[in-house]
């Protein structure tokens, strides 16, 4: 679920939408929760729809789940292509820690965004 500040930012983007201020810009998303699912796909879908409404160019993840290709680095272990989904530990009273494979997946998506942006 979005934090209130994220939703407030999105809610104020109407003027930018009307003026097409983000049209042609690159967009991508990474989302985490404390469980393997945690409705992360819904978050990615929401952000993809928002980006599309703004005329943005969406960049998805381009990584096969590592276990499909015989690797054990944990890349795309949750099997998401519209963006990166991550899982963190959710121990009560402790700082959440992102799974290392999910962190690597996010880094790979960031590199993909940078490479695509560089082509523009």
* Domain ranges within the chain, ordered by starting residue: 22-91+101-119
**For residue 114, pLDDT beyond 80:** yes
pTM: 0.89
**For residue 84, pLDDT beyond 80:** yes
Q: What is the pLDDT of residues 17-28, one digit of tens each?
A: 999 999 999 999
Q: How confident is the model at residue 2 (pLDDT cuts 50, 70, 90)?
A: low
- For residue 62, what are the contacts with CB-CB under 8 A and spacing of at least 6? 81, 112
Sort residue 91 into left (φ over 0), alpha (ψ -120 to 50) or beta.
beta
């Amino acid at each position: 679920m979005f934090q209130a500040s994220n939703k407030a930012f999105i809610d104020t983007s109407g003027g930018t939408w009307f003026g097409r201020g983000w049209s042609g810009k690159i967009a991508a998303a990474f989302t985490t929760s404390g469980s393997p699912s945690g409705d992360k796909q819904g978050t990615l879908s929401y952000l993809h729809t928002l980006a599309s409404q703004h005329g943005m160019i969406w960049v998805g993840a381009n990584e096969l789940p590592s276990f499909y290709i015989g690797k054990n680095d944990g890349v795309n272990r949750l099997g998401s292509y519209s963006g990166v989904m991550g899982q963190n530990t959710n121990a009560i009273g402790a700082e959440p820690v992102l799974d290392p494979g999910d962190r690597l997946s996010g880094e790979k998506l960031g590199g993909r965004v940078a490479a695509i942006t560089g082509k523009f």
